[in-house]
Structure 1
Amino acid sequence: MIQKVKLTYDQIMSKFQVNKPWDTIIIFVLNILLTIPVFLIVHQNTIDVNWFWHIDRILIFILIVVVIQLVLRAMRKIILISIFLYLVTLFVGTVFGGYGFKSVFEDYEYMLYFMSDNPNPQDIIISKMLPFPNKSKVLDAIEYDNPKVRSFAIMATTKHFRKSKDDFREYATIIQCFAVFKEINSRWNYVSDPKNKDYIATATESLEYLSGDCDDHSILMAACVRSIGGTPRLIHTDGHIYPEILIGTKKDFEAVNYLIKQVLFVNESKDKVVNYHIDERGQIWLNLDYTAHYPGGPFMSEEILGALTLN
């Protein structure tokens, strides 16, 4: 009886066994298919040490290939089942809006572009910063729930990047905030404060003529960004204030970096670096200053003294 059960099992397993040399070819192809999503997960959750040519990422990729290859060779008798389960998993993700074939392709495309483009990180340590100047006045001036502010922001989203928002739905809010950035920065007129006085204009006041100094611009930008669901913050230096927008994780930044350079601000960012800050929680922020022609443009070189985040 025991021998009969064993024989039946062997017969079943033999149905899923692939003859040589096809088993080796299939194992290698399946290895690459499995390595890509595994590598993306590892890549997005490990610190980038910024080695030359991203050697650390290459070594990680090779290590994953070797490990998966050994596992697949040990499982060669059920190789067809492995392929079937892999494809079914991606198919289900594609049909029901989860992680599917398109997600794997896009993540890999974003990651490769990010590695070749080499954006420029500039870390800041929030815990060591000074109190934000005129904090209460600035917060009151950021009238993100004012109908005029929201109407202006909505107008900008209908004017810029509407198709891109539909094509990249996962980052629709950030794309709409970039539309606000484009509208404000393309029309902003810098006007100094009264002599010997730090004048803080409200968002609606600056909105009337799209004019003012750096803190007026920052307040208006922050108000508009927050009015449509973005998370802005203001950075204070010794002689300047500028706005930033929260992008999120490293994975999010890889996608946004691709969108800036290849879709939304192609001409403005051509041959230029996307600069960013990383806060103490590992979250990534991009510069939206009036001096920048694309999100993540060059920072002012002054020392950062404080930050005011609008959650």
Structure 2
Amino acid sequence: MIKASEISFQKIRNALQLPKPWDLVIIFLLNILIAIPVFILAHHFLIDPQWPWQLDRILLFIGILVIIQLILHFIRKVIILGIGLYLIALIWGSLFGSYGFNSVFEDYRYMVYGMSDSPNPQDLILSKLLPFPNKSKIIKAVQYDNPKVRDFSLMCTRKYFSDVKGYGSYYTLIQCFAVFKEINSRWNYVSDPKGREYIATASESLPYLSGDCDDHAVLMAACVKSIGGIPRLIHTGGHIYPEILIGNKKDLETVNYLVKKVLFPIESKDKTLHYHIDERGQIWLNLDYTATYPGGPFMHEEILGALTLN
């Protein structure tokens, strides 16, 4: 005789089972929903071989789809339970600030945009660099704690991008981009006195937003640092320009989307972001005075020295 417990188990299993062909449809949709966050996490932490046409990402995604499809097919008899557990996990993440529905959507959007419109990497390992010229004078000139420099930076954050919402972890970076927009849209290039290297302090360049490349780099670095950003100066021999630390590869995808679709869509239209990767894998975005958007083209590629101001 069939025991009552076996009958109850059979009823539960039947209740959790979907009729054909809906079980295959649900399995496929659930596969896509699970594969997206798994793929995002995987490609962030795995080494990027830089294959052409994003073939590494395509093959990785297909592999994840196949594995998850096999797992879901194996547990298809309790697929409703699987859907429930997945939704519970996302609801929990949404309510308590971890990985939830919005995170899946945002990561997927950044990833897809990054694959279709990738930044332009300048993968230079910054090591064995030459001594930075006028290092002590430049450090002294970067007056990030000067009240006038701080006030100017605060003004910029109110003038630009103050209405941009939903990017909490990039709030400081967005404000630094506001500083970039104000300085670079108004900068007036003026040469040093003939035969002399004149390094103006940040407060000295501020009233007229004028000077040469090192004066611009000093002012940009001071303003960025005054509101929490991490700048550095790059020396190429006859030129000095500022960069800003944006983080890792995942951050680059988000910043690429922010710059091109949210903050500087006109200036960066049909263009790419230019950046450097240092010896620790950190990504630095170009803020040169010739750029109309963060990550604009470099004037000079060869790096002879780097001065981080953290």
TM-score normalised by L of structure 1:
0.95
Query: 1:98-132 CA deviation, whole Å, 9 max, x = no partner?
Result: 22111111111111111111221001222221121
Specify which structure has the higher proportion of helix: 1
Greater mean deviation of Cα atoms: 284-293 or 98-107: 98-107
Q: How many residues align?
A: 310
Q: State whether residues 150 and 223 of structure 2, in contact with CA within 8 Å, keep that contact through their aligned partners in structure 1.
A: yes
Q: State whether residues 238 and 302 of structure 1, in contact with CA within 8 Å, keep that contact through their aligned partners in structure 2.
A: no
Letter in structure 1 aligned against 2:232: R
Letter in structure 2 aligned against 1:30: L
Instruction: State how far apart, in whole Å, the 2-side matches of 1:147 and 1:92 are.
Output: 44
Q: State whether residues 274 and 295 of structure 1, in contact with CA within 8 Å, keep that contact through their aligned partners in structure 2.
A: yes
5+ unaligned residues in a row in structure 1: which ranges?
none
Which residue of structure 1 aligns with residue 239 of structure 2?
240
Which residue of structure 2 aligns with residue 265 of structure 1?
264
Instruction: State how far apart, in whole Å, the 2-side matches of 1:221 and 1:202 are.
Output: 11
Which residue of structure 1 aligns with residue 173 of structure 2?
174
5+ unaligned residues in a row in structure 2: which ranges?
none
Helix, strand or coil for the counterpart of 2:305? strand
Shift of 1:8: 4.4
Instruction: State how far apart, in whole Å, the 2-side matches of 1:66 and 1:95 are.
Output: 31
Helix, strand or coil for the counterpart of 2:194? coil
Q: State whether residues 31 and 69 of structure 2, in contact with CA within 8 Å, keep that contact through their aligned partners in structure 1.
A: yes
Letter in structure 2 aligned against 1:61: F
Query: 1:260-289 CA deviation, whole Å, 9 max, x = no partner?
Result: 111111111111121111111111111000
Which residue of structure 2 aligns with residue 149 of structure 1?
149
Letter in structure 2 aligned against 1:216: D
Letter in structure 1 aligned against 2:239: H
Structure 1 position 35 matched with structure 2 position 35 = yes
Helix, strand or coil for the counterpart of 2:304? strand
Which residue of structure 1 aligns with residue 224 of structure 2?
225
Query: 1:189-243 CA deviation, whole Å, 9 max, x = no partner?
Result: 1111122211111111111221111111101100100111111110011100000
Query: 1:33-84 CA deviation, whole Å, 9 max, x = no partner?
Result: 1001001111222233333321111111100000001111111222111111
Which residue of structure 1 aligns with residue 191 of structure 2?
192
| Shift in alpha-carbon separation, 1:2–1:194, aligned structure 2, 3 A | farther
| Shift in alpha-carbon separation, 1:2–1:247, aligned structure 2, 3 A | farther
Letter in structure 2 aligned against 1:40: I
Helix, strand or coil for the counterpart of 1:82? helix
Query: 1:118-171 CA deviation, whole Å, 9 max, x = no partner?
Result: 22100122222112112121111111111111110000010011112x232231
Greater mean deviation of Cα atoms: 216-225 or 203-212: 203-212
TM-score normalised by L of structure 2:
0.95
Instruction: State how far apart, in whole Å, the 1-side matches of 2:6 and 2:150 are.
Output: 71
Helix, strand or coil for the counterpart of 1:47? coil
Structure 1 position 287 matched with structure 2 position 268 = no
Helix, strand or coil for the counterpart of 1:126? coil
Helix, strand or coil for the counterpart of 1:128? coil
Which residue of structure 1 aligns with residue 201 of structure 2?
202
Letter in structure 2 aligned against 1:130: L
Which residue of structure 2 aligns with residue 61 of structure 1?
61
